[in-house]
Amino acid sequence: MENVGVMMTTPMSAYLEQQLQQRFTLFKLWESSQSLADSVKAVVGDAKIGADSKLIDSLPRLEIVSTYSVGLDKIDLEKCRERGIRVTNTPDVLTEDVSDLAIGLALATLRKICACHAFVTAGSWKNGDFQLTTKFSGKSIGILGLGRIGSAIAKRAEAFGCTISYHSRTKRQTTNYRYYSNAVDLAANCQILFVASSLTNETQHIVNREVINALGPQGVLVNIGRGALVDEHGLVSALCEGRLGGAGLDVFENEPDVPEPLLELENVVLLPHVGTDTVETSMTMADLVVANLECHFLGKPLLTPVI
């Protein structure tokens, strides 16, 4: 398979790049100044740059898109179906890390862990104690999207004595968590709202002004899904005006750009989209990307097919 052209769309894992280099002819879209139309049979994208319609049209020999992510919103799936291009992602292997981080964001926001750290390092502790914060245990939890990650968040929250409710496209028959048929009712009946949905045309800005207002001035929003699931302008306004109690955010609408007002608020915790970024998981994800490519070009069944 050394002669099979594989193109990475953006810098990702150094380990992934090394593994691709060893097995295929690797092209890097961000470095290439030549036409790759006749050379590329596979694209490896991620949550930042996947395979949009323009890229797919420029690669007439493209056979497979293997994304280094679970999300598929950066891939033109309809175009891939039209062209018969296979698509794979990396589900399951990142579930634990993302759900761990979701709970960490909730704890950090409610207990003001980052502000506490700054309080100590600034020497302010010598002048008095830090302000009281809010507990996490026992809170009512709402989860938007009870898929793999949403379910893992619920399992972790249960260990803290939290009550769980959720909203998803359909009611799950395999759980006793309380189901709400819309996001507004879910937000109105929980204290912490975790956003774990997939991003689609239907779920874009599912967390809008009405949902944020329903969550209220004591509520906390935690987003580990995709930035565009939340109306970011509305979120910023609600935080600045005190209509929302706090937010823990790992994702943003226009990454890596973060709205300026968020940088000055003490009731938010901001992370640079690192939900899956542990050494262990990044290597496992990379291995799965490569294994899917190898299966395709050896004529074997794909390990995690989407199309």
Q: Residue 32's pLDDT band (boundaries 50, 70, 90)?
A: confident
CATH number at residue 66: 3.40.50.720
29 and 134 part of one domain:
no
**Whether residue 125 has pLDDT greater than 70:** yes
Q: Is residue 304 part of a domain?
A: no
Structural domain of 87: 5-91+279-297
Please provide the average confidence, as pLDDT, over all residues in the chain.
97
Same domain as 225, residue 148: yes
Which pLDDT does position 183 carry in this prediction?
A: 98
Are 104 and 238 contained in the same domain?
Answer: yes
CA distance 98 to 250: 10
For 67-124, what is each residue's pLDDT tens digit? 999 999 999 999 999 999 999 999 999 999 999 999 999 999 999 999 999 999 999 9
214 with 108, same domain: the answer is: yes
Residue 242 and residue 99 share a domain: yes
At 131 the pLDDT is 96
Amino acid at 252: F
- Could you tell me if 58 and 120 lie in one domain? no
Same domain, 79 and 168: no
Q: Give the pLDDT mean for 5-32.
A: 96
Residue 307 lies in a domain: no
Q: Which of 226, 232, 253, 296 is catalytic?
A: 226
In the annotation, is 273 catalytic? Answer: yes
Residue 173 pLDDT > 70 = yes
Of 20, 1, 9, nearest to 288 by C-alpha is: 20
Helices (runs of H) and strands (runs of E) counted in the chain: 10, 12
- Helices marked H in the chain: 14-23, 53-57, 77-83, 95-110, 113-121, 148-159, 183-188, 209-215, 232-241, 279-297
Are residues 159 and 284 both part of a single domain? Answer: no
Residue 226 known to be catalytic = yes
Amino acid 33: pLDDT: 67
Quick: pLDDT tens for 183-223.
999 999 999 999 999 999 999 999 999 999 999 999 999 99
Q: Are residues 206 and 59 in the same domain?
A: no
Give the count of domains, the chain: 2
Tell me: do 136 and 36 sit in the same domain.
Answer: no
> The pTM is what?
0.92
Asked if residue 305 is part of any domain, the answer here is no
- For residue range 42-64, list pLDDT tens digits in order: 999 999 999 999 999 999 999 99
pLDDT at 305: 98
CA torsion 221→48→77→102, rounded to 10°?
Answer: -30
Q: Give the per-residue pLDDT at 56.
A: 97
Catalytic pick among 82, 255, 266, 280: 255
Task: Report pLDDT for 2.
Answer: 86
> In the predicted model, what is the mean pLDDT of residues 136-163?
98
- Selecting among 23, 83, 111, 273, the annotated active-site residue is 273
Q: Are residues 44 and 128 in the same domain?
A: no
| 232 is annotated as an active-site residue | no
Residues 67 and 168 in one domain: no
